[in-house]
Structure 1
Amino acid sequence: MTDNKHALPGSDRKELPGSSCTGPLEDDNERFDVSLIVRRPDAAGFQQHISSLCQSRNPDAKVTPSSPALLSREEYARRFAASLEDVSKVREFAHRHQLRVVSENRVTRTVILSGTARQFMAAFGVRLQHYQHASGNFRGRTGAIHLPADLAGIVTAVLGLDNRPQARAHFRFRPPIRPAAKDPTSGSYTPLELAALYDFAPGDGAKQCVGIIELGGGYDETDLQNFFSSLGLPSPAVNAVSVDGGKNSPSGGADSADGEVMLDIEVVGALAPQAKLAVYFAGNSDQGFINAVNNAIHDTANRPSVISISWGGPESSWTAQSLDAFDDVLQSAVALGVTVCVASGDSGSSDGVNDGADHVDFPASSPYALACGGTRLNAGKGAIKTETVWNDGEQGGAGGGGISTHFPLPGWQKSLKAVRTGGKQATLAHRGVPDVAGNADPETGYKVLVHGQWTVVGGTSAVAPLWAGLIARVNGAAGKTLGYMQPLLYPAGACRDVTQGNNGDFAAASGWDACTGLGSPDGKKIAALLD
């Protein structure tokens, strides 16, 4: 079978707004890699396991000897790795089209192929072209990917033909302080100060690993040593993990992705100083992003119990195949007891899309991610005075939140309503974002050290590592994992309700809202979820 006859469901791509085509790739002999994700054996059995596991986490559920248990990575590999037959069919397809098999990972169900643009265009029935865009030049395509009949239903996603920048880091530096100000970090907080304000239970993350996903930038060891020394803490063990050739590559610019990487490590490392930190570096594309999270979840060397993601993009900018492939990876995290904390975005209810409609950020909008929204926190004398929705009208930053257009309503959000700024309530028909929140306003942000300079950083990218650090502390103290938290969290009343402010089209309200979710953490109540 050699003819490409079947369009891969959900693979249709549109041109990136603001980009321009500069020519075809037919004569480009440079080789690149493409990832094929194959189906999960016994998909029905896996879905039943996930569903039963979620139901058993409901506080009112009766735990019986037959209740589903979390899977070890080894057991997951035995039960749900890709079949040898399916991988063999992909290998045969590659051979027919003179594509080289770079790697096969049955656990992540990923086969990586290498070839030229001409070879991939012939193999998948696509046209690849060069594009220019303000965010960077990329290799792109429009339309659908096509598969031969013998791979239809076996290959669920083909990633990397188009390598446009897929995500952005959700961090924002505080605007310059007035020259008269003596302390450029005044009004901001160290992670330890926030832990005290949010009443984190004692803990240091011992025997835990936190995975941190980065799609660019890097960290500097000297900065880390100086930062943790200033807090009277030891420097955590940080391990850079390369995914698809990504690596720790600090640029030397504080306003680059380095600011994101340093923020993530410094927040998690301060809150869980005895935890091991594994930083997974990958390219900024849907292929790189998905492969990084997939590798982190199934990493048998580092074994993270919680993962922090501070990157994302509007749900509308992803293909359906990528949304579903990523969501499937996050379901694997549920089965393994890994919590995945994800920033909900910094551009309010529009998520930066200029079409007049509401949008949510992905992967925060997956029901299997703990979506982290943003607040503005004001404190004094060691106590919180006020906490409102982060929305800086002048600077344009606001916590992301709203209602997904792709993912169905999860059971733990049934009966909830979203409140619009005008006061009108709407029953949720799809997944509501975020789940939780925390300090994110750059004006009240986090004191961090980047390239030798103390600065203040905010954005929901700070909230994901805040929650990841809290969860690592809780897991270490309890000797077990919070894992998939939402079924436990929603009925528990374990968050500080935020009832003032809006993120554009959605307003804060008593209980859950589409700005700050259930609210900011009440650390000791979060720890009690594992009692």
Structure 2
Amino acid sequence: MDNTRLVPLRGSERSAHAHARSTGAVSDSERIEVTLVLRRRSEIPDDLVEGPETITREELAARYGAGPADIDMVKRTAEQHGLTVTQTDPAARRVKISGTLGQLRSVVQADSLTMVTTPDPADEERMVEHRQRTGDLRILPEWDGVVIGVTGLDNRPQARPHIQRMKAHAVHSSYSPVDLGKIYRFPPGTDGSGHTIGVVELGGGIPEGDLDAYFAMLGIPTPRVDVVEVGSGSNAPGDPADGEVMLDIEVIGALAPGARQVVYFAENSAQGFADAVSTAVFADPTPTAVSISWGQREDLWTAQGRAILDAALADAAAMGVTVCVASGDNGSSDGDPTGKPHTDFPASSPRALACGGTHLEADPATSTVNSESVWNNGNGSASGGGVSRTFMQPSWQANVGVPNGNGQDRRRGVPDVAADADPKTGYRVLIHGRDEIIGGTSAVAPLWAALTVRLAEALGHPFGMLQPVLYDGAAPGVSPAGFRDITLGDIGGFAATPGWDACTGLGVPDGQALLARLASV
């Protein structure tokens, strides 16, 4: 077998995990399924991604999916090397192949591939074992320029759930999601009926009985919640990520009880994350919104990993899907132990509606806001935000005063929007039969997803990328109509100011004012 023919795959270089401990070699007999991401037949125009026009899955596949000749060539060459083609999806541009590691080495190789243990991002006291690759990937020369991404050889945990718990004595106040819908003036007469929200989960599960008990407590019929298991992912309650799963579902179900939720469980890996988002985006029926409460510092992704997921978000926008993503819970450093500024991906993609967090003091009985400021409790417990090192500044963000960050000009600023996220003023939820107070920007992404479907219900159409419309009318020091500006507080490296800032974006929603504004567009 001549493996010297293989050529480097651009953007695939990967470093070892900082806390990896080797446990041995990966057996050549281990069966692995990898995802091959193919090039588009033509690039999606910016005006389709950012504009009001939307297309169907079938139209996207025909114009911007993978070409039939490319798919046939990749399938044929994989099968010639003894591999099994397990799935093809022209719209999502994916071909999945399976075989032993020994067989896969004839078409894709890493510089190094070993078994290691690393801390579980959902519970850093727990170690998880996985495959780890380092260096570049190399692929068949026939695939060069056709296959633009390969995921699955390395299945290290890729993302963290952006959820924060607080001991009871430290909680100042707490709210049910229904309270917050009133405080943020969600449009009356809407409940999300006729719309679907996709929810991406990279671990955890739905404890039996919790949803019925929680919504009975709120006096709301239990919403429809369907489960899709992607790849090796499963609905497996008993995992540390159960809190994330239940927070997402309960916030959406309380704020958009008429909407159907589809929860996509996938392995926490670059492959699992991208496959889950793509599966959610290309579902039938097409969702109105997708909520993602998981992410990781930009520099802890490979270039190909960011590109694959960013392309899936572009597909979403073209089909009218609004993707709401938590901006992170570790302030301007996003958890970098050196304190250097970082943004969290995928929130840092311009195609994502990046959702930051506040500290809210309000009276639930009257829906009166006493004060609202940037969430920052110190010790790294703060809303995520800043300036991307990777993504250029989109045109709709050019005139709001995004600072030049990291020595680079005109980069994407994060977040776009915000809502309550401080666990000290957190959300009342039910997990494993226990009442808990939870915060984190993990709560803000589903809140904005619920608001999005209620706005879409009121106006009779989905939005896709909301940002170009939301930012219209914004200027340095000025937030546009539909937002209540947050001007107090900081996240470490950035402080709140009038207008857009890298702490809470444009501000928190005034749902009724936002509806009036969107109706006039």
TM range (shorter): over 0.9
Pairs aligned (count): 500
Measured against aligned partners, the alpha-carbon deviations of 1:150-176 in whole angstroms (never above 9, x if no partner) come to 111100100011111000100011223
Write the letter of the residue equivalent to 1:223.
Answer: D
Question: Within the alignment, does 1:437 sit opposite 2:418 as a pair?
Answer: yes
| Number of the residue aligned with 1:217 | 204
Measured against aligned partners, the alpha-carbon deviations of 1:453-477 in whole angstroms (never above 9, x if no partner) come to 1110000000000100111111112
Q: Of residues 263, 278, 286 in structure 1, which corresponds to 2:262?
A: 278
| Number of the residue aligned with 2:217 | 230
* Structure 2 Cα separation of the partners of residues 197 and 356 of structure 1: 34
In 1, are the aligned partners of 2:172 and 2:424 still within 8 Å (CA)? Answer: no
SS at match of 1:460: coil
TM-score, normalisation: structure 1: 0.91
* Structure 1 Cα separation of the partners of residues 403 and 303 of structure 2: 28
Aligned pair in 2 of structure 1 residues 326, 4: CA closer, same or farther (>3 Å)?
A: farther
Deviation, structure 1 residue 221: 4.4
Question: Within the alignment, does 1:19 sit opposite 2:20 as a pair?
Answer: yes
Question: Within the alignment, does 1:372 sit opposite 2:355 as a pair?
Answer: yes
| Number of the residue aligned with 2:32 | 32
Q: Of residues 131, 137, 150 in structure 1, which corresponds to 2:116?
A: 131
Structure-to-structure mapping, 1:31-430, within 5 angstroms: 31-43=31-43, 46=44, 48=45, 50-51=46-47, 54=50, 56=51, 69-126=53-110, 127-135=112-120, 136-177=128-169, 187-202=173-188, 203-251=190-238, 256-300=240-284, 302-380=285-363, 381-393=366-378, 396-418=380-402, 429-430=410-411
Deviation, structure 1 residue 371: 0.2
* Structure 1 Cα separation of the partners of residues 302 and 60 of structure 2: 27
In 2, are the aligned partners of 1:418 and 1:426 still within 8 Å (CA)? Answer: no
* Structure 1 Cα separation of the partners of residues 207 and 79 of structure 2: 43
SS at match of 1:471: helix
* Structure 2 Cα separation of the partners of residues 3 and 111 of structure 1: 24
* Structure 2 Cα separation of the partners of residues 373 and 356 of structure 1: 19
Deviation, structure 1 residue 418: 4.3
* Structure 2 Cα separation of the partners of residues 250 and 4 of structure 1: 45
SS at match of 1:530: helix
Write the letter of the residue equivalent to 1:371.
Answer: A
* Structure 2 Cα separation of the partners of residues 519 and 455 of structure 1: 27
SS at match of 1:321: helix
| Number of the residue aligned with 1:496 | 484
Deviation, structure 1 residue 491: 2.1
SS at match of 2:237: coil
In 2, are the aligned partners of 1:418 and 1:506 still within 8 Å (CA)? Answer: no
In 2, are the aligned partners of 1:4 and 1:124 still within 8 Å (CA)? Answer: no
Aligned pair in 2 of structure 1 residues 3, 41: CA closer, same or farther (>3 Å)?
A: farther
* Structure 2 Cα separation of the partners of residues 529 and 368 of structure 1: 21
In 1, are the aligned partners of 2:3 and 2:106 still within 8 Å (CA)? Answer: no
Question: Within the alignment, does 1:474 sit opposite 2:455 as a pair?
Answer: yes
Deviation, structure 1 residue 428: 5.7
Deviation, structure 1 residue 425: 12
What residue ranges of structure 2 are gaps of 5+ in the alignment? 121-127, 474-479
Write the letter of the residue equivalent to 1:120.
Answer: L
Runs of 4+ with deviation above 3 angstroms: 1-5, 424-428
Q: Of residues 460, 464, 470 in structure 1, which corresponds to 2:441?
A: 460
Deviation, structure 1 residue 303: 2.2
In 2, are the aligned partners of 1:417 and 1:427 still within 8 Å (CA)? Answer: no
SS at match of 2:105: helix
* Structure 1 Cα separation of the partners of residues 29 and 517 of structure 2: 55
In 2, are the aligned partners of 1:4 and 1:123 still within 8 Å (CA)? Answer: no
* Structure 2 Cα separation of the partners of residues 427 and 384 of structure 1: 38
SS at match of 2:242: helix
Write the letter of the residue equivalent to 2:132.
Answer: G
* Structure 1 Cα separation of the partners of residues 55 and 247 of structure 2: 32
In 2, are the aligned partners of 1:499 and 1:510 still within 8 Å (CA)? Answer: yes
Measured against aligned partners, the alpha-carbon deviations of 1:129-162 in whole angstroms (never above 9, x if no partner) come to 1112122221011111112221111001000111
TM-score, normalisation: structure 2: 0.92
Deviation, structure 1 residue 36: 0.3
* Structure 2 Cα separation of the partners of residues 529 and 315 of structure 1: 33
Measured against aligned partners, the alpha-carbon deviations of 1:170-202 in whole angstroms (never above 9, x if no partner) come to 001122327xxxxxx771001111011111111
Write the letter of the residue equivalent to 2:367.
Answer: G
Deviation, structure 1 residue 29: 1.6
Measured against aligned partners, the alpha-carbon deviations of 1:88-107 in whole angstroms (never above 9, x if no partner) come to 11112212332211111112
Aligned pair in 2 of structure 1 residues 444, 426: CA closer, same or farther (>3 Å)?
A: farther
SS at match of 2:76: helix
Deviation, structure 1 residue 24: 2.1
In 1, are the aligned partners of 2:389 and 2:408 still within 8 Å (CA)? Answer: no
Write the letter of the residue equivalent to 1:516.
Answer: T
SS at match of 1:227: helix
In 1, are the aligned partners of 2:54 and 2:319 still within 8 Å (CA)? Answer: yes
Structure-to-structure mapping, 1:443-454, within 5 angstroms: 443-454=424-435
* Structure 2 Cα separation of the partners of residues 259 and 265 of structure 1: 10
* Structure 1 Cα separation of the partners of residues 99 and 451 of structure 2: 44
In 2, are the aligned partners of 1:414 and 1:428 still within 8 Å (CA)? Answer: no
* Structure 1 Cα separation of the partners of residues 400 and 452 of structure 2: 25
* Structure 1 Cα separation of the partners of residues 321 and 458 of structure 2: 16
- C-alpha RMSD of the superposition: 2.0
* Structure 1 Cα separation of the partners of residues 138 and 248 of structure 2: 39
SS at match of 1:279: strand
Write the letter of the residue equivalent to 1:310.
Answer: S
SS at match of 2:296: strand
SS at match of 2:463: coil
In 1, are the aligned partners of 2:341 and 2:406 still within 8 Å (CA)? Answer: no
Aligned pair in 2 of structure 1 residues 425, 98: CA closer, same or farther (>3 Å)?
A: closer
Write the letter of the residue equivalent to 1:275.
Answer: A
* Structure 1 Cα separation of the partners of residues 455 and 173 of structure 2: 28
SS at match of 2:435: strand
